[in-house]
Amino acid sequence: MAPTALDHLLEVEGVTVRFGGLAALSDVGLTIAPGTVAGLIGPNGAGKTTLFNVLSGVVRPQSGSITLKGERLRDHRPHQLAGLGVSRTFQGLNLFGHMSVLDNVIVGADRLARGGLPEMLTGLGRYQRDERELTARAMAALEEFGVADTAHALPGTLPYGVQKRVALARALVSEPELLLLDEPASGLSGDDTAELAAKIRGFGRRMGVMLVEHHMDLVMDVCDHIVVLNFGQVICSGPPAVVQADPAVAEAYLGTPAQEENGD
């Protein structure tokens, strides 16, 4: 079967989510091309995490469609994500505190290996080999983020920046085609943020990335395309220079002074 060159890795059309009387997302549409980094920005409460929750199958939209690699997603569930080629990190860490760093990362790979029922029913030998492979892959992912020496520690005993790297290793270990990052730079030092920027550019060469971030320097630096949400609506979409020059975007941020991050 010849590989098809898909214009869009992900296509979101007309997605609306209401929580009671609140429209968290209103008729949201966007696309992500393979091998690009798309930024999703907007003030607090704009609907960014809600969109990630829709993509992850955690929140069901009242209307709209999600098409991944040309296939419409219907009723997908969070545990199916790795099998679909999608991986996410969470706002905050979301690591399992009672499990070692290595086991946390294995969870990310495990979902992929055990994705299909036939896999589970094909015997113990296969299963044991899977376990060894999973451990090797998880260690390689930890090494990629320079934290392999923490493999047997509990996450809570490690500095925040190290835990953030473990969370990234967990998301990357399944080798996703679409990576959703929800505020990966929050709580990081300037040096760690610069290192993260380089990593995200690297991910963007291997997969499609959707980046939610409040650090505007990072967003402008690493994104090929940016979508701006305000009160659940897309108010601007385009390359960084276009978004930066759009008065509607400045107005949305000025309406929420807590988001200003002008350091000079």
Ligand X SMILES: Nc1ncnc2c1ncn2[C@@H]1O[C@H](COP(=O)(O)OP(=O)(O)OP(=O)(O)O)[C@@H](O)[C@H]1O
| Residue 4 contact, options Mg ion, ligand X, none, Cβ 5-8 Å cut-off depending on partner type | none
C-beta of 49 vs 150, nearer to Mg ion: 49
Q: In what order do the strands lie in the sheet with 37-41?
A: 86-88, 178-182, 208-212, 37-41, 225-230, 233-238
Q: Is 47 in the site for ligand X (CB under 6 A)?
A: yes
Vertex 69, ends 75 and 173: CA angle to 5°?
85
Least distance to ligand X from the beta carbon of 53, Å?
A: 7
Q: 101-113 and 124-144 helices cross at what angle (nearest 10)?
A: 130
Q: Is 50 in the site for ligand X (CB under 6 A)?
A: yes
| Residue 41 contact, options Mg ion, ligand X, none, Cβ 5-8 Å cut-off depending on partner type | none
C-beta of 48 vs 170, nearer to Mg ion: 48
Neighbours of 228 (CB within 10 A): 23
CB contact set of 27 (below 8 Å; sequence gap of 6+): 14, 15, 16, 64, 233
Instruction: Give residues 86-105 in contact with ligand X (rule: CB under 6 A).
Output: 91
Please say whether the beta carbons of 204 and 189 come within 8 A.
no
| Residue 45 contact, options ligand X, Mg ion, none, Cβ 5-8 Å cut-off depending on partner type | ligand X
For the chain, how big is the Rg over CA atoms in Å? 19
Q: Is 230 in the site for Mg ion (CB under 5 A)?
A: no
Q: What are the DSSP calls for 178-192, one per residue?
A: EEEEESTTTT--HHH
Size of the site for ligand X (CB under 6 A): 12
Least distance to Mg ion from the beta carbon of 41, Å?
A: 11
User: Which one, of 178, 184, 183, lies nearest residue 166 by Cα?
Assistant: 184
Size of the site for Mg ion (CB under 5 A): 3
C-beta of 41 vs 102, nearer to Mg ion: 41
Determine the interface stretch with ligand X among 18-26, 65-73, 155-163, 217-225 (rule: CB under 6 A). Answer: 18-26
Q: Is 255 in the site for ligand X (CB under 6 A)?
A: no
Distance CA 261, CA 223 (A): 18
Pick one of 12, 24, 86, 243: the residue that binds ligand X (CB under 6 A): 24
Q: Is 49 in the site for Mg ion (CB under 5 A)?
A: yes
